Amino acid sequence: MSGEPDFAALLGGRVEAAAVAPLARYAELVERWSARHSLVRYADRRELVERHLLDALAGSGELTGEGRLLDVGSGAGLPGVPLLVARPRWSGDLLEPRQKRWAFLKLVIREIELPAAALRMRFQELPPGGRWDCITARALGAPEALLAWAGDHLRPAGRVLLWTTEDGVAALQGLAGWRVLSSPLPGLERGRLCRLQPCFT
């Protein structure tokens, strides 16, 4: 957008140096496509970076070492794309059933050279018997069905990360079979990053 700071300047010093260029390119693609297809809502570039990219990266501390990620309902690639950029030792599957968003993600994977990401449209397209170290979802309306599925598709010590609200966390704490921890998301009033691990009683 004319007159606004470039994305690299907004990201500099806030993410690891190696991630600045691919994340800036990703933000440019989100900006261009959002103008035509309403991928994400934001007022300006600063809000796009802070409300969406840095919000997604709040989960990067959970992705230690190496592993495999499944991002459910990836939409514009949030949080999956920023997480895979920030954690290059991780690979992952981006699951997105909507055709236009699927096409956008296909472009993103090519443009930012993200070979670690595999794009799927339906759960049935995931590898048979596949298991993941981390399953993520952002702004998912009803996570109960996802959690019912996820329990059988997490590797040992695997977890589910949900970007939700204080009310969402309260609802999740009532679910049997899951240990729930949450922390505030940076810059989002009432936004919470919720970490769930299966527990056995």
DSSP 58-92: TTGGG--SSEEEEEET-TTTTTHHHHHHH-TTEEE
Q: What is the pTM of this model?
A: 0.94
List the chain domain ranges. 60-198
Per-residue pLDDT of the chain (201 residues; tens, 9 = 90+): 557 899 999 999 999 999 999 999 999 999 999 999 889 999 999 999 999 999 999 999 999 999 999 999 999 999 999 999 999 999 999 999 999 999 999 999 999 999 999 999 999 999 888 999 999 999 787 899 999 999 999 999 999 999 999 999 999 998 899 999 999 998 767 799 999 999 864
The predicted structure's pLDDT at residue 1: 52
Q: In the block, which residue shows the tokens 């996570």?
A: 143
Tell me the HSE value of 16 on the side-chain side, using a 13 A CA sphere: 12
Sign of CA dihedral 73, 76, 25, 49: negative
Contact 85, 62 (CB under 8 A): no
Nearest to 87 by CA among 112, 107, 57, 131: 57
Class of the domain covering 60-198:
alpha beta
Q: How far apart are CA 113 and CA 42, in angstroms?
A: 25
Nearest to 130 by CA among 172, 67, 58: 67
The predicted structure's pLDDT at residue 201: 45
